[in-house]
Amino acid sequence: MSRSAPPVPHRDFGAGGPTLAQTGERALLEQLVAISAAAFQRAPAAGDDAAVWTPPAGRDLAVSVDALVEDVDFRRGWIGPRQLGRRAFGVAVSDLAGTGAEPLTCLATLCARPSEQLEDVLEIQRGLCEAAAEAGCAVVGGDVSAIDGPLVIDVCVSGSLPTGRALRRAAGRAGDLLLVTGVLGRSAAGLRLLLDGLAPAAVTEQDWVDAHLQPVTRLREGARLLEVGVRCAGDVSDGVLVDAERTARASSCAVEIWRDSLPVDAHLSDRFGQGWLELAVAGGEDFELLAATPESDAADLMRAWPGELAPLTVIGALTAGSGLRLLDRRGGIEQTAPRTLAAHFS
């Protein structure tokens, strides 16, 4: 069984206290560093402008960066500051999960208005450090800056993995089956409820909102794929259609997705009718893993898959050619692919 996110102490944004302007940069940095030092029992070197870290011998480094921008990636009315810190780390580290890497270090940049309340910023740092510690990743530094605009959190993570063994989108081959971890569409369903201003009407709907606000990244699943010799994988952050086509293009293949094989919450169609498919394949921010493996290996991979991990489901295949087709089932009739909901600049 896959894990769920742990409960997070809740404080709303703007609950009171001094502002960053009243606190000053030096005092702010001291408090941010103190939170990190307490979380990892390792204080950053005093006065240094760069973190120094010795990577494990004989291993490759994987590095990724992701930003959350207020009113683009989150809204204050939806999420508390500690939840936001956890989400910022989870979104960034999901890209490491897609390579099979073991997290090592994290750097975080915060851009905030001088009127931002100090305690909100400290809560973001606490959430970030909590999530990083749970992943075995140390927050080793970062930056702060004043901004005349929305709150921005930019997180850079690094991880290590055996040399030459990284899971890569370009390692697929025509004939490979596509497998996805977990369940698709819950995060997009939660976002739809939030955008519509609807309070969750049932436990299932609260689970959708939680899937969006507190994603559980698939680090252990990525490590397992790497361990058993899978070579092609990546995370699903932009919707399974986009990420499957991205994998196919990198592997010089075409791709088929089989609608009736998709692992989706059975309640999606009850709540959203025919809109369930759009949420499941085009909604984005599932933060599951999408892997490709030879069909001859897929049955053994799934048979030996540990029960405590998010389940694997075959949802399609790489084929010769180019482009993406959505079929109603394997060998079935082509369907109209829903529009992508998760793209920036569109």
Q: Where are the domains of the chain?
A: 22-48+59-162, 169-335
Query: Which of 313, 327, 178, 329 is closest to 337 using CA atoms?
Result: 327
For 22-48+59-162, which CATH class? alpha beta
Ligand-binding site membership of 102 (annotated): no
Rounded distance, CA 230 to CA 288, Å? 16
Query: Which of 66, 72, 97 is closest to 342 using CA atoms?
Result: 72
Rama region for 175: left / alpha / beta (φ>0; ψ in -120 to 50; rest): left
Tens of pLDDT along the chain (346 residues) come to: 445 556 666 778 988 899 999 999 999 999 999 999 888 876 566 677 888 888 888 899 999 999 999 999 999 999 999 999 999 999 999 999 999 999 999 999 999 999 999 999 999 999 999 999 999 999 999 999 999 999 999 999 999 999 999 999 999 999 999 999 999 999 999 999 999 998 888 899 999 999 999 999 999 999 999 999 999 999 999 999 999 999 999 999 999 999 999 999 989 999 999 999 999 999 999 999 999 999 999 999 999 999 999 999 999 999 999 999 999 999 999 999 987 655 554 5
Ligand-binding site membership of 169 (annotated): yes
Ligand-binding site membership of 66 (annotated): yes
Ligand-binding site membership of 238 (annotated): yes
Ligand-binding site membership of 73 (annotated): yes
CATH of domain 169-335: 3.90.650.10
Rounded distance, CA 82 to CA 92, Å? 16
Ligand-binding site membership of 95 (annotated): yes
Ligand-binding site membership of 64 (annotated): yes
Residues 314, 177 contacting (CB under 8 angstroms): yes
